Chains A and B, each alone.
Chain A
Amino acid sequence: MAEAQNIPVGSTTAGQIAVAAESTVATRMSAPASFDVADFPVPHGREEEWRFTPLDRLRGLHDGTAVATGDGVKVDIDAPEGVVVETVGRDDARIGRAGTPVDRVAAQAYSAFEKAGVITVPKETVLTEPIRIVVHGEGGTAYAHQVVELGAFAEAVVVIDHSGDAVLAANVDYVLGDGAKLTVVSVQDWDDKAVHVGQHNALVGRDATFKSFVVTFGGDLVRLHPRVAYAGPGGEAELFGLYFTDAGQHQEHRLLVDHNVPHCKSNVVYKGALQGDDAHAVWIGDVLIEAAAEGTDTYEMNRNLVLTDGARVDSVPNLEIETGEIVGAGHASATGRFDDEQLFYLMARGIPEIDARRLVVRGFFAELVQQIGVADIEERLLAKIEEELEASVA
């Protein structure tokens, strides 16, 4: 069952476990998944999948008025030896295999990109250094598509680093061959005005392991759909997320784990801290266990820490089970406040205010940060958290 505690005024923490004949996860979307933007009506904001998102801040990504400027983002890829990095046309067969766009902006991105990036780690290639994709916003508007494909038993870490200012709609496909291991760290460290919307699809092969860290700090509006499905039994997916939502920012993470084959595992842990007026974080965690997916083991959790008044969290876990023959399924969502009484307690033990906040926020994020395993990224995240806190106290 969902648990909820100390929910700030104006927030929702709802949860449900449905044992349903037909999928509500699928049917509550206003249109079926499609690669064609024309299949999606322009959202008006009351649709289930858009109701938390301020459409007027999407800068036209949702209604066809956002035109690519040609210099929207600069992409640099640094890949270790053995990795194949290509730029391909729209007709390349490797594009779009991991998943289909589920909303209008994802379909817009798919319909509008001109060239796609394809990164291939050949089978049985085990990388010791990360592949780094640096996406720097140059102030324009861009549509993009990136494919990361691991052959059977390949192992890789991919860091996608977003910074600068841009209006970007971009989808990413991760295709994992049998027994492959992929860790992805996607960092959204945008400037204050950036808008970033995208769908990240992972197709996890037989006995493959997919681990994802989605780390969102910046931007005016960030809305991401991390999604996982399995291509064969024995797959494992761990989806971790961290966000630090500041005054005026909208950061939305909408996850789906589709247990469509038997004997796969998934574990979802997203944690967010919020501070400042009109900081708004949205977390939607959908887990679907299809009738065929016997032996599924899944858990999802969202935790939010509200540091100041004026912030809002919407946290909605949904677990939908179509078979009872599973190992385990659970979810939890809780939103807590760092309030004046906690601050008083820590300060009454001699701890200065900034250190008290640091202690609480670091403690809150530590277990996730430590699991990233990429030292420079871990350090940067901790430094970023410090920076955000310093700014809030100053």
Chain B
Amino acid sequence: MSILVNKETRLLVQGITGSEGLFHTRQMVAYGTNVVAGVTPGKGGQWVDEKIPVFDSVKIAKEATGANTSIIFVPARFAADSIFEAADAGIPFIVCITEGIPVSDMMRVRNYIDQKNVRLLGPNCPGLLTPGEAKVGIIPGNIAIPGNVGIVSRSGTLTYEVLYALKQVGMGSSTTVGIGGDPVNGTNHIDVLRMFEDDPHTDKIVMIGEIGGSDEEKAAEFIATRMTKPVVGFIAGQTAPAGKRMGHAGAIVEGGEGTADAKIRALEAAGVKVARHPEEIPQLLK
């Protein structure tokens, strides 16, 4: 079992005919995800691999196929518009993979969708994977097996590393959720922790954070006061210099805030076992 995506997911791909959209659509279909529609403005009426109909707009695609989740693979300069389009079409769950969206666009998006009943995951994220059921994003399917560990992470490949290490010792994941590395995003650590706490098929949780912002500190407070399930943590960026953006737009220590040390201390104070490196995580889960 799982959170957010499963066998009931009816997925729509925005930007399905672009090179990344097409490549990952095929990967998701091969994994068994139910991809019901694609959207590329101006290419309505075409078909992808003779199986997936392409529409001109999200609204038409949703009416025609009953899509209930959208994934966005469009370039950064058009991505905010794609999120607005999906939200206005009434898609309740939107996953945005795109990296490099201006933060002012994301602030407008966030303030807009907060008034609607819409959940956004990302942007600048690898999406999510419910092993054995659905892959909505770019997490390689073959590195994870079904299990009872819920994973939430701000990173992409670092999450793969953790999934792979778990698989080596026979441990699997209920759902793995990449919330993305941008400073303003749709879903944060606490949102996902709350879902895992309520999910009967998740018994343990891995939370992967990194420098920048205060999301992990807030999550620590949530864990201490609201969670009953054990959480293992990892924070990347202990050796990162202050004032430099470490690849992710949100990974920066500014004015002494957002350091790895502060986050690790907050998590440990909340009773979270914090791994010293990613491959220690499976052992701490036992």
Do A and B belong to a common assembly? no
A-side residues, CB < 8 A to B, are: none
